[in-house]
Amino acid sequence: MKLLTIETTCDETAAAVITDDLKVLSSVVASQDALHKRFGGVVPEIASRAHVERILPVIDEALRKANTKLSDLDAVAVANTPGLAGSLLIGLTAAKTICVAANLPLLAVNHLQAHVYACRIASGRDVFPCIGMVVSGGHSNLYRCDGPTDFTPIGGTIDDAAGEAFDKVASLLGLPYPGGPSIERAARTGDPRRHRFPRPLLDDPEHLNFSFSGLKTAVRYLVSGPGKIEDVKPAACKLSPQDIADLAASFQEAVIDCLVGKAELALQNTGYRTLCVGGGVAANGRFRTRLEDSAKLNRYELHVPPLALCTDNAVMGAIAVERLRAGLFEDLSLDISPVPERAAKR
């Protein structure tokens, strides 16, 4: 069986053709980084307009590369939650239209669960049950994953997402968008011990939540002193390249301490022995090394996908294969849900 998967939750327009045994026949990703760069972040209106222009060429290219016609497909899967409303609507409308035109069943993809499932695709073997951690531009979430269609949220950020913090701090330091790769590059020559930034919520053994907004403010105060956000950029120019490298390295280490610490706590609290990490921030080399060290020390199985499966893509939409097997089809009333499901309050 063959599935067409569509991903337009944020600023990447992506489509892939995948078999039910998780063979990737094609994968196309049209990035919008160049469009959003000068704004230092994703502009929702620009993102949805770009999706409208790109969605059909991207789907056509995915089908062509997979040597597949619409009539060869068995289902269409689309990420309908969470994400930017305007962006989600473009992918969902395209998927529904193809389903009507080619008389195909429709499957829903939860974008965050798909980020975790990227580990299943990359490893080529079962990874469940596991703790799933998604760290991206819009989300920092922890899940108890008892199976590929059985995810329970157990923690998340109470303010900014980890990737968002990378993007905002990069902008404070005058580094280009997207901030994650820029901070990682700058941090390579920096001293992570020069500044001791806060590790919010890390020493709270009860909760699996993150908070990154205070950390971002701590960097801002260090750069320019307390004051208006507009004051920051000129001050950042006065920083030497070594200052910027040290700030980037110290900030990166603080974020990673929080992420690794809470992942360890989630494993400890649940007794699960497998950790699957996904999302754009999982592309960070220092984070990957720290996770590997933690896995060795604490003797758990770690899965982190290759870089192309960490950032947004349609291949991870292959999680829909599991819904297809379970008979979890959608009808044409399927809607978007921009906001993610949250962990139950304790």
Q: Is there binding between residue 305 and ligand KG4 (CB under 6 A)? A: no
Distance in angstroms (rounded) separating the CA atoms of residues 115 and 122: 11
Task: Let me know: does 257 contact 198? Beta carbons within 8 Å.
Answer: no
- Contact with ligand KG4 (CB under 6 A) among 54, 55, 132, 167: 167
Nearest C-alpha neighbor of 18 from the set 62, 61, 60? 62
Interface segment toward ligand KG4; rule CB under 6 A; list 70-78, 160-168, 193-201, 267-275:
160-168
Interface segment toward ligand KG4; rule CB under 6 A; list 141-149, 176-184, 296-304, 336-344:
176-184
Closer residue to Zn ion, CB minimum distance, 75 or 281 = 281
Report which secondary-structure segment, H or E, holds 147.
strand 140-147
Q: Tell me the residue number closest to Zn ion, measured at CB.
A: 136
Q: Which does 283 bind (CB under 5 to 8 A by kind): Zn ion, ligand KG4, none?
A: ligand KG4
Q: Is there binding between residue 178 and ligand KG4 (CB under 6 A)? A: yes
Those residues whose C-beta lies under 8 Å from the C-beta of residue 170, and which sit 6 or more positions away, are 176, 177, 178, 179, 180, 182, 183, 248
Q: How far is CA 32 from CA 35, 44, 118, 275, in A?
A: 5, 11, 21, 30
**Torsion angles phi and psi, residue 68, rounded to 5:** -125, 135
Q: Is there binding between residue 138 and ligand KG4 (CB under 6 A)? A: yes
Interface segment toward ligand KG4; rule CB under 6 A; list 44-52, 92-100, 161-169, 187-195:
161-169
Burial class of 125 by CB neighbour count within 10 A (0 to 12, 13 to 18, 19+): exposed
Q: Which does 163 bind (CB under 5 to 8 A by kind): Zn ion, ligand KG4, none?
A: ligand KG4
Q: Which does 311 bind (CB under 5 to 8 A by kind): Zn ion, ligand KG4, none?
A: ligand KG4
What is the tally of helices (H) and strands (E) in the chain? 12, 10
- CB of 168 vs ligand KG4, minimal distance in Å: 9
Closer residue to ligand KG4, CB minimum distance, 12 or 98 = 12
Task: Let me know: does 338 contact 92? Beta carbons within 8 Å.
Answer: no
Q: Is there binding between residue 280 and ligand KG4 (CB under 6 A)? A: yes
Residues that bind ligand KG4 (CB under 6 A): 10, 136-138, 163-164, 166-167, 178-181, 184, 279-281, 283-284, 311-312
